[in-house]
Amino acid sequence: MDIVGQHIPLEIHEIASGTPVFDWTVPKQWTIRDAFVKNSRGERVIDFRAHNLHVVSYSCPVDTRLTLADLRPHLHSDPEHPDWIPYRTSYYSEDWGFCLAHSALQALPDDDYTVCIDSTLEDGKLIWGECLIPGATSDEIVISTHICHPSLANDNLSGIAVSIELAKSLLAASGSYYSVRILFIPGTIGSIVWLATNVERLQTIRHGLIAVNLGDTGHLHYKRSRRGHAEIDRVVEYVLHRRKDDCTVIDFSPYGYDERQFCSPGINLPFGCLSRTPYGQFPEYHTSADNMRFVRPEALAHSLDAYREIIQVLNRNGRFQNLQPMCEPQLGKRGLYGSIGGRSDAKERQMAMLWVLNFSDGEHSLLDIAERAGIDFEVIADAAETLTEHGLLARCSGSNA
């Protein structure tokens, strides 16, 4: 959070261990200083200082001597990828363990080993960060990314990096309709804590996305919200298909990342998950191979562009009312034909104005009109803006644009 706060304005929040949050309790705080396994010659054969994935996250303190046979149940490896260190965690269970490459495990000889995990599990606090970019309304788009294992580059340092750059671009822009809140939270317990401590704010959340796995070379994947056809679902699908990228869209399921908390039945916010390759579907997932060589700058930039475009469409979408609905209003006397007559896309823009005027009945959104007309959303939105400036349209009360 200190590093994130060097790039964007960040408000830090905390909650004490032991605090009840819905059906959960904020766990004890884990602090680790060192960990190792030494052979009888005093050599570190497993060393937390060499790679922090060597220790099972949340391991309780240990100081003992064990034979290899007694140590083996506490050692975790991946035989399918013998040179990779797996990532393991023992959240909510006071256990301990070490992770190592399978090749290194097989090379361990029978010996007596000194085992040390210099850690503490004690009442402390859970910390998260929020960056709020104010818009014209207090209604919010929420982007949430998890921070619980940033040593894994795609899952999920990439989400943190894209969220930071997204915040920078939104802070530098102007005229946003929605406020945008970006959450940097531990997975699962972080979203549960945030929801439990922000119940009064939930009614202002209009759209949400979980930002994860955004740096690998796979194509974009979108997991719909529990509602299935919320505006965020329609906008993301529209943007992905308009970009003509390879993409995959799947229905909601109650397993995955923090969308399952935001979409739980008692909350049921319109939250989708936009990633590249989903969790568990790339071999490097939760291993030391998910490193800085695995993520690609061009993939991060591509993901960022998609998020920017989605927010732009959400900001411009809305319902309008035609103020001259009795037959077509005369556009020529208002100079509306002349203003676009010299453009190469003049015919399309004229058609966009006609489509917007005809379907601006308070029931159809600009996205509805764009999809029905087969005209690019930005052209439809520009037409609506022009018609509003000339007194022919008015935004509907409560409309999101």
- The per-residue pLDDT for 33 is 97
pLDDT band at 344 (very low <50, low <70, confident <90, very high): low
Tokens at residue 88, please? 């393991």
Given this model, what pLDDT does residue 317 score?
A: 96
Query: 319-395: which CATH topology?
Result: Arc Repressor Mutant, subunit A (1.10.10)
pLDDT for 194 equals 98
> Residues 207-241: pLDDT tens digits?
999 999 999 999 999 999 999 999 999 999 999 99
The pLDDT value given to residue 171: 96
Other beta carbons within 10 Å of 304: 20
Q: Are 59 and 16 in contact (CB under 8 A)?
A: no
Residue 87 has pLDDT above 60, yes or no: yes
Which positions make up the binding site? 149, 155, 286
- Find the mean pLDDT for residues 258-285: 97
What confidence tier does 136 reach under pLDDT thresholds 50, 70, 90? very high
By CB atoms closer than 10 A (0-12, 13-18, 19+), residue 61 is middle
Indicate the annotated binding residues for Zn(2+).
149, 155, 286
pLDDT of residue 401: 44
Cβ pair 214, 299 in contact under 8 A: yes
- The model's pLDDT over 293-322, given as tens digits with 9 standing for 90+, comes to 999 999 999 999 999 999 999 999 999 999
- Residue 15 predicted with pLDDT over 80: yes
Q: Is residue 335 over pLDDT 90?
A: no
d(CA 214, CA 53): 21
Q: What angle is formed at CA 156 by the lines to CA 313 and CA 204, rounded to 5 degrees? A: 40
Q: How much of the chain exceeds pLDDT 70, in percent?
A: 97
**Quick one: pLDDT band at residue 334, thresholds 50, 70, 90?**
confident
CATH placement of domain 31-122: 3.50.30.90
Domain-wise residue ranges, the chain: 2-23+126-316, 31-122, 319-395
User: What whole-number distance in Å separates Cα of residue 377 and Cα of residue 362?
Assistant: 18
Average pLDDT over residues 41-63: 97
Give the mean model confidence (pLDDT) for residues 99-104.
98
User: Which of 3.20.20.300, 3.10.20.30, 3.40.630.10, 3.30.360.10 is the CATH number of 2-23+126-316?
Assistant: 3.40.630.10
Structure confidence at residue 92 (pLDDT)? 78
pLDDT (average), residues 355-381: 96
